[in-house]
Structure 1
Amino acid sequence: MTTPRSSPLVPADDVWRRLSTRMLLIHPVKELIRFLPALIAIVIAGSSGGQHWWGLIGVGVAVGLGLLRWLTTRYRFTPDQVQLRHGLLNTTTVSAPIDRVRSVDVTASILHRALGLAEVKIGTGAGEKELKLDGLTATEAAALRGDLLHRSRPTAEDSPEADAQARPAAEGEGLPSYVSPETVVYRGHPSWIRYAPFSPAGLIAALAIFGIGSQVINESGIDWGNNEVVNGATDVVQGLGVIIAVLVGVLALIVFVVLLSLGGYLLAFHNFRLTRDDAGGTYHVTRGLLTTRATSLEIRRLRGVALHRPVPLRWVGGARLEAITTGVKDDDRAMSATLTPPSPEPVVAATAGRVLDDPGALELPLQGHGPAATRRRYTRALVGFGIPAAALVVAAVRWSQPALVIPAAALLVVAVLLGRSRAHWLGHTITDRFLITRQGSLALATDVVERRGAVGVVIRRSFFQRRAGLATVSLATAAGAKAYPVLDLPEHEVGKLATQLLPGTVEQFRADQPPTTHSA
């Protein structure tokens, strides 16, 4: 545990402070956005009754709540805690012990950036509530992030040499920046935005917009049968012909999805940069166009990486990288674990090697799982696609529609290709440091997990796996997805792999034993 001490980087003077007065311009805007639906309803109700001043009262209440939030919020630094107190009638105090700080994220929306402010989120563990300081100056936020991560490290690392790297900042309330040389591990390139249309983000956004739009249309009460826009569109379709109209619609949808993907990539990953601070023991990720975000990840909590190459990103030679870490809440893991956005696969693989301090980890040949596992890949694919294919054949016979046989045959071809792809990519290997496992096809993923983080090994055999002489061996860990499976391993390999992952447990992992869980 870190010994509480007064640091020159953060004034541990027990004085309660207010957030920047510039937040008086942001809090009212945030409250107006928060209560926008209610304000619209009030304005409509007031207009219908001739009482237009209702809307002004609603706006005044929202602005007043924003001002009240600033007046009732305080924060302070003690030798061993960061504390935040807020509330008028019911006062709440949130504390973050400095020696338990696991992550420090600095976020700045476009309003914050215009006013030189930032929001700092301090996380102390997977099950703890975050402490949010919304309203520090940008200089204070950067200094606080560096100091908290520096002071949360073990005391053995609190050396005079490390403290000597601290120097006063140009501005701020006694919060000088913690300065440490950083090594650039990854830097995004503007041309890599070409990978954005091949990631699923654009399609997901398009589906969400379509769903919301459909709900709004259904609840609007408009008579679409007598609508001029609908009638005009119907006339256009009839003039062009159904086939041409469908092609134009598909092309428009593709363009829409591509534009959404490009916009989302720019907003989330603009100026993406991953750096390593060896003195502070952290990785830093900075990114964002309108809203910038700076995320810190302690190196000692890193347990591996996950390389993702989904379809269609894999078709254009792209990939993305995520960190496997401990001490991160599930709802924050998706964003804080991102080490690279969709980028060229060689660049992502090289970044993974630098993060792992093992450049060849992702280049090692993986061991296949044999013919039984291959047959299981084909069987699962054929069963999944064979049921709808059989339904199409039955429909073709029942209603004398031979054309339905064509999509049925296409489904079977897709099943064979999918089974072949899944069998090709399935594999694993084990080194002195890592378990490396790869699985999937449409969502191909390669996980590189440190063995030192193992808390157990789980062996599972389903009914069909037992008949095929296979089993799934999972490495249980406190990091990331919590369990990393090696799928459909031949039974004669199960005991060997299990004892490599947890040495000294040969008798508990014999291939002829029932499904077993062993914890270290």
Structure 2
Amino acid sequence: MTARPDEGVRAEGTFERLDRRMVVMRTLVTSGIVLIAAVPAGVGIHAEGRSIPGALGIVAGGVAAIVLATVLGEYLRWRATRFRTTAQRFEWRFQLVVTRRRSLARERIRTVDITASPLHRIFGLATVVIGTGQQAASGEASVKLDPVARTRAEALRVELLRRTPAAEPEDEALGQQPAQQQAPLATLDWRWAGYAPLSFLTPALGAAVIGFLANVVSLFGPVGGLVDDARDGARQAIADVAVGGTMAVVLALVTLVLFVAAAGAVGAVLLFVEMWWGYRLDRESDGTLRVRRGLLTTRSISLEERRLRGVELIEAPGIRLARAGRVDAVATGMQQSGSSERTDHKTLLPAAPRRTVHRVTSAVLDEPDAPTGVPLSGHPRAALVRRLRWSLAPVLVVAAGAGVAASLTEGWRADLAGMAMWLCLLGGVPIAALLAWDAYRNLGHALAGRYLVSRRGAVRRSTVALQRSGIIGWTVRQSIFQRRVGLVTVTATTAAGSGGYQVRDIGEADGLRLAEEAVPDLLGPFVERTARP
């Protein structure tokens, strides 16, 4: 009896197939979708004059044809797709009429991510994405195996990310016991769910709930009457305002805002639960950091520690007010240009209190103190002036345009333009000034041991701790306006993360000194030193 490809011991270099249960799984999914769509189709055919048996026959024939086509297509894909792992490479091959091959050097494999949807989990399957982190918009830098058995997916992750394949057999031969499982670096604290409603996503989720309810209402009757009632209500509200009934309108608006906020908050919490259920951050014995999470769709994301070049602390507006933040990895091989990867793909820790953030950051970077928590040096006052100009200029331009329009028009148009002008002057100017002050206060830099720390951002604050050994170049940029006030923007170029991290509007002498001290042998030869008189 021949063993299945995902069972037993495999000889090195032997081609394997995807799990054959994929045919059954895809067929069930297609059958469910087709049967749901067949009901209204059958009703429509019967309404056109066909008898009930005739309509059922047509619908049944269409359903059978689609299901058979799905079975045939998935079977051919299963037969045509093969992969294998050798000592040096991972190879994938699709051979059906046209042959496609893809080969990844094992030394260049950066990530092996495992995802299992609810249907995958029912069948004991998973999707494996093997990536090299190269900038390939065509997707040639990664291989997707969908699906393989869950046990085989875990074995592939360990096999492809382990750089010394012979180490484990040798230890067993010597009679050594395997290392004990280390304690996790972080696990889920359900109190973190309280930060979910503070994100920008909450209003969008609330609006989506209102749209969903409107669609549900439309299924039970025409919405024309509802639209007419809403229009009549709006007209009555305007009339109430004209006669002094402003409180009723304000109360209606407040009720709507509260409903949207409550619906969005519930949706944000539910989304957090689905994404971060069972969250666990581990340091594996094979030298990788592994994040596992997910309720309905489980995810396992692995990152080699030797590819890690630092971390980025993200503090969105609401989360920042609650003294919390999110931690993202800055690593080589994780930036994928043109990819559809979500931002949370590189997230090591969801929004959590700053004390937890610094503790996890310290553990991830293996440092006694978190670089993201060190005091930072401020920037010159000239940087504040620049931000005030950037923030106030658009507001003042709009106010000036509204003032001109008010002087050139008459009647209600002049009143509306005048109202817009005063709104900009009395409301827009203070808000713009506060944003500029916040952006200036967030500027900062420091050298914390092995790391260069840089902070910037208005409202949404970002603090990056970048390994000094991972800096491969410097870009010093000085605009005409910066030159007049003695400021520069220094960018640390790296192969990790976004490719470059800026220290904006720092003093010219301080910026050059920072770059020289961070990596002495990189910028020093290009700095001209003049003796002071």
Q: 1:323 aligns with which of 313, 320, 329?
A: 329
The 10-residue stretch of structure 1 (267-276 or 371-380) with the greater mean CA deviation from structure 2: 371-380
Q: Is 1:379 paired with 2:389?
A: yes
Q: Is 1:58 paired with 2:76?
A: no
* AA aligned opposite 1:382: L
Q: C-alpha distance in 2, partners of 1:194/1:438? A: 26
* AA aligned opposite 1:449: L
Q: 1:230 aligns with which of 227, 230, 244?
A: 227
* TM score, norm. by length of structure 1: 0.82
1:353-412 CA distances to partner (integer Å, 9 max, x unpaired)?
111122241222111111111222222222243333444455565514564424531111
1:392-431 equivalences under 5 Å are 392-394=402-404, 399-400=414-415, 403-404=419-420, 405-431=422-448
Work out whether residues 27 and 67 of structure 1, in 8 Å CA contact, stay in contact via their aligned partners in 2: no
Work out whether residues 121 and 131 of structure 1, in 8 Å CA contact, stay in contact via their aligned partners in 2: yes
Work out whether residues 443 and 457 of structure 2, in 8 Å CA contact, stay in contact via their aligned partners in 1: yes
Q: C-alpha distance in 2, partners of 1:394/1:77? A: 72
Q: Give the deviation of 1:435 after TM superposition.
A: 0.8
1:449-478 CA distances to partner (integer Å, 9 max, x unpaired)?
011111110011112111221110000001
Aligned-partner SS, 1:26: helix
Q: Which residue of 2 aligns with 1:271?
A: 278
1:64-95 CA distances to partner (integer Å, 9 max, x unpaired)?
32333223323333333333333422232333
Q: 1:282 aligns with which of 275, 279, 288?
A: 288
Q: Is 1:148 paired with 2:154?
A: no
Aligned-partner SS, 1:14: coil
Work out whether residues 361 and 370 of structure 2, in 8 Å CA contact, stay in contact via their aligned partners in 1: no
1:460–1:19 Cα change, 3 Å: same
Q: C-alpha distance in 2, partners of 1:63/1:313? A: 48
1:298–1:498 Cα change, 3 Å: same
Equivalenced residue count is: 486
The 10-residue stretch of structure 1 (155-164 or 423-432) with the greater mean CA deviation from structure 2: 155-164
* AA aligned opposite 1:386: L
Q: 1:246 aligns with which of 253, 262, 273?
A: 253
Q: Which residue of 2 aligns with 1:28?
A: 27
Q: Which residue of 2 aligns with 1:517?
A: none
1:155–1:44 Cα change, 3 Å: same
Q: C-alpha distance in 2, partners of 1:498/1:104? A: 35
Aligned-partner SS, 1:126: coil
Q: C-alpha distance in 1, partners of 2:159/2:311? A: 26
Aligned-partner SS, 2:98: coil
1:204–1:243 Cα change, 3 Å: closer
Q: Which residue of 2 aligns with 1:516?
A: none
Work out whether residues 117 and 296 of structure 2, in 8 Å CA contact, stay in contact via their aligned partners in 1: yes
Q: 1:293 aligns with which of 283, 296, 299?
A: 299
1:19–1:82 Cα change, 3 Å: same
Q: C-alpha distance in 2, partners of 1:180/1:145? A: 19
1:4-403 equivalences under 5 Å are 11-29=10-28, 52-53=58-59, 55-56=62-63, 57-127=65-135, 128-150=140-162, 153=163, 160-161=170-171, 181-204=181-204, 227-235=224-232, 241-277=248-284, 279-330=285-336, 331=339, 332=341, 334-358=343-367, 359-394=369-404, 399-400=414-415, 403=419
1:32–1:487 Cα change, 3 Å: farther
Work out whether residues 457 and 501 of structure 1, in 8 Å CA contact, stay in contact via their aligned partners in 2: no
Work out whether residues 495 and 510 of structure 1, in 8 Å CA contact, stay in contact via their aligned partners in 2: no
| Percent identity of paired positions between Structure 1 and Structure 2 | 32
Work out whether residues 197 and 261 of structure 1, in 8 Å CA contact, stay in contact via their aligned partners in 2: yes
Q: Is 1:491 paired with 2:508?
A: yes
Q: Give the deviation of 1:487 after TM superposition.
A: 0.3
Q: 1:445 aligns with which of 438, 449, 462?
A: 462
The 10-residue stretch of structure 1 (490-499 or 456-465) with the greater mean CA deviation from structure 2: 490-499
The 10-residue stretch of structure 1 (410-419 or 130-139) with the greater mean CA deviation from structure 2: 130-139
List gaps (5 residues or longer) in structure 1: 1-8, 168-177, 513-520
| RMSD over equivalenced CA pairs, Å | 3.7
1:136-163 CA distances to partner (integer Å, 9 max, x unpaired)?
222221122112211xx26897893498
The 10-residue stretch of structure 1 (497-506 or 300-309) with the greater mean CA deviation from structure 2: 497-506
Q: C-alpha distance in 2, partners of 1:180/1:494? A: 47
Q: C-alpha distance in 1, partners of 2:173/2:314? A: 39
Q: C-alpha distance in 2, partners of 1:410/1:68? A: 65
* AA aligned opposite 2:93: R
Q: Give the deviation of 1:34 after TM superposition.
A: 9.5
* AA aligned opposite 1:324: V
Work out whether residues 469 and 519 of structure 2, in 8 Å CA contact, stay in contact via their aligned partners in 1: no
Q: C-alpha distance in 2, partners of 1:425/1:20? A: 52
Q: Which one has the largest radius of gyration? A: 2
Work out whether residues 39 and 58 of structure 1, in 8 Å CA contact, stay in contact via their aligned partners in 2: no
Q: C-alpha distance in 2, partners of 1:34/1:335? A: 30
Aligned-partner SS, 1:191: helix
* AA aligned opposite 1:119: T
Aligned-partner SS, 1:367: coil
List gaps (5 residues or longer) in structure 2: 1-7, 238-247
